[in-house]
Each structure stands twice: as C-alpha cells, then as structure tokens.
C-alpha cells in the first residue's frame, strides 16, 4: 500500500492563535491542491508557539476550537490530518496534545507529550501525558510522538513492538541541535524498521531559531524527503511493503532478547 504524506513546515506566529489558524487553513488548502496527499502533518504547538507564560489566556479550553477546526478541514478536503499539537487546557492543567482526524473528520486519536522538555520550561507550565501514541490510520498501525519524546528510544520501541509501522513526530526543534534532530530520527527509523514522518517548524521566537528540516525517512533509514530551514511543505510517497521487506531481511523483532533487558 502506498500513501502520499505532506508535512507543513510553517513559521508559527508567537502567541497568536488567530493568525496561526488562518495560516494553517491556507496551507492545507494549498497542499491539497498541489500535492493531493492522503495525510497532512502539522508541527508541535502550532496554535501558540512556545508562549508558555500566556497559556492561561491562549491555551485551547478542552481543545475544542482546534478539534473543530481540524475536523472541518479534514472533512472538507477528505484528507487525514495528524494535527501537530496544541496547548490543551483542562481545568487547571495544560497538556501538549496531538489530535489525529481521518478523512471523514472523525477524531481517531489523542496523544499528549509524555516527556516534558525542561530546557524550554515545559515542566513549569505543562503536564505530561501517560497514554499510548498508537493509532490506526488508513488501516496502517501508526503512532504519534512529540519532539523531545524521540530522545527516549524505549518509548518509541514500545509502540513498534505493538505494531506501529509509521511514527509521526511533530516538533519545535531548535536549530542549535539540528545534528541531534537528524541523527535521532534516522536512528529511530533504522532501529524500528519503520517509516518516520517528522514535521518541524521553521522561523524563530524570542529564545530560539528553529531548525526546519522536516524529514520523511524510510525503514532502511534513507531520507526520502527533507526540508530546508525555511518555511515550506515537503511531500513523499511511502510504500508500506518496504516495512515488511526490511523486517524480513533483518528480523530484529524476532531476534530481540527481552530477558536481557530491564
């Protein structure tokens, strides 16, 4: 089975959800017309950016506005949306949460970032999630991960041992650690023998310049699409047979010695 996937590597207006909703709506429309993807992926915290001190004001109450927005666009354009992540407010807590919608506009999964990134103050303002990233999209077992999560190979492995063949990573990864971003994503694809579809943001806020370099990587670890540092959309076709072929060629999932690991 083949699927065409686009990552919207946008610049995000700091603390300005209205502007970001408008931009994302325009970019989705443009991408549907030009690339006709089956799946569109957005970056991390795309409604607010890292304006964490103002989350009380700008986080989305129960995620309601973002969910309605994503659901309507998915249905309108008959496209699956891995909706990046948004700051979701539930009572006194805010989570960094990804919503995935299918072509009919139905919410099929919600995942909140499990590992909070202290270097960008997430632990001071956000609550970590503790639920699985696993979901099935277009009949393909898949999983969602958010940025810093990729530094925890055991977390991604917990999803591929349960069947995930595509890992969607949404991010606001700084340029200062571009080498880590590229290396970790390639390693995660090779060691899990799966597709990695990683959507990062471009641009800068007051504290960080962001790396761009969204990537789509095949189960052999080869990069089949990669962005520059600038805002742009990358698109590639993935072939799910390749996951099966690579896993047959080097059967790491059968060769694991679980009894040796903690």
Interface positions with ligand LYUYDEPV (CB under 6 A): 44, 117, 120, 147-148, 151, 172-174, 177, 180
Cα–Cα distance between 142 and 165 in angstroms, integer? 6
Q: Which is nearer to ligand LYUYDEPV, 128 or 251 (CB)?
A: 128
The answer to whether residue 147 is catalytic is: yes
Residue 54 is given by DSSP the state G
Q: Which is nearer to ligand LYUYDEPV, 101 or 173 (CB)?
A: 173
Q: How does strand 134-137 pair with strand 93-101?
A: unpaired
Whether 113 sits among the annotated catalytic residues: the reply is yes
User: CA 119, CA 29: separation in Å to the nearest integer?
Assistant: 35
Give me the count of residues in the chain: 262
Q: How far is the CB of 153 from ligand LYUYDEPV (least distance, A)?
A: 13
**Distance, first Cα to last Cα, the chain:** 36
Q: Which is nearer to ligand LYUYDEPV, 75 or 180 (CB)?
A: 180
∠160-245-100 over CA atoms, to 5°?
A: 40
Active site residue 194: no
Q: How far is the CB of 85 from ligand LYUYDEPV (least distance, A)?
A: 10
Phi then psi for residue 166, to 5 deg, are: -130, 130
Q: Residue 177 CB, nearest distance to ligand LYUYDEPV (Å)?
A: 4
Kindly tell me which of 151 and 248 has the beta carbon lying closer to ligand LYUYDEPV. 151
Query: Residue 227 CB: number of other CB atoms within 10 A?
Result: 21
Report which of 125, 93, 94, 129 is spatially closest to residue 111, judged by C-alpha positions.
129
Which of 64, 66, 128 is closest to 95 using CA atoms? Answer: 128
- Given the residues 7, 88, 89, 113, select the one marked as catalytic: 113
CB of 184 to ligand LYUYDEPV, least distance (A): 8
Secondary-structure breakdown of the chain: helix, strand, coil percentages, each rounded to the nearest 5: 35, 30, 35
Task: Give the nearest distance from C-beta 50 to ligand LYUYDEPV in angstroms.
Answer: 8
- The catalytically annotated residue of 27, 88, 110, 147 is 147
What residues have CB less than 8 Å from 22, skipping those under 6 apart?
A: none
Whichever of 7 and 73 has its CB closer to ligand LYUYDEPV, that residue is 7
101: Cβ–Cβ under 8 A, 6 or more apart, which residues? 70, 71, 74, 80, 81, 83, 107, 108
CB nearer ligand LYUYDEPV, residue 75 or residue 177: 177
Active site residues: 44, 113, 147
């Amino acid at each position: 089975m083949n699927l065409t996937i686009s990552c919207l590597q946008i610049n995000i207006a700091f603390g300005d959800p209205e502007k970001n909703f408008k931009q994302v709506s325009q970019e989705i429309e443009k991408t549907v017309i030009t690339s006709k993807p089956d799946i569109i992926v957005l970056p991390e915290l795309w409604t607010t950016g890292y304006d964490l001190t103002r989350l009380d004001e700008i986080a989305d109450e129960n995620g309601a506005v973002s969910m309605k927005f994503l659901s309507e666009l998915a249905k309108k354009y008959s496209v699956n949306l891995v909706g990046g992540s948004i700051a979701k407010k539930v009572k006194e807590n805010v989570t960094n949460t990804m919503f995935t919608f299918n072509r009919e506009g139905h919410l099929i999964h919600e995942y909140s970032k499990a590992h909070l990134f202290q270097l960008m103050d997430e632990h001071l303002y956000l609550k970590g999630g503790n639920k699985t990233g696993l979901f099935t999209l277009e009949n393909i077992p898949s999983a969602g991960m958010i940025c810093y999560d990729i530094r925890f190979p055991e977390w991604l492995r917990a999803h591929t041992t349960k069947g995930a063949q595509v890992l969607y990573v949404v991010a606001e990864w700084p340029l200062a650690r571009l080498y880590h971003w590229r290396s970790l994503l390639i390693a995660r694809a090779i060691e899990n023998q799966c597709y990695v579809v990683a959507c990062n943001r471009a641009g800068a806020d007051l504290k960080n310049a962001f790396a761009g370099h969204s990537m789509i990587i095949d189960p052999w670890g080869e990069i089949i699409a990669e962005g520059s540092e600038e805002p742009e959309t990358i698109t590639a076709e993935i072939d799910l047979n390749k996951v099966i072929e690579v896993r047959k060629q080097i059967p790491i999932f059968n060769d694991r010695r679980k009894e040796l690991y903690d």
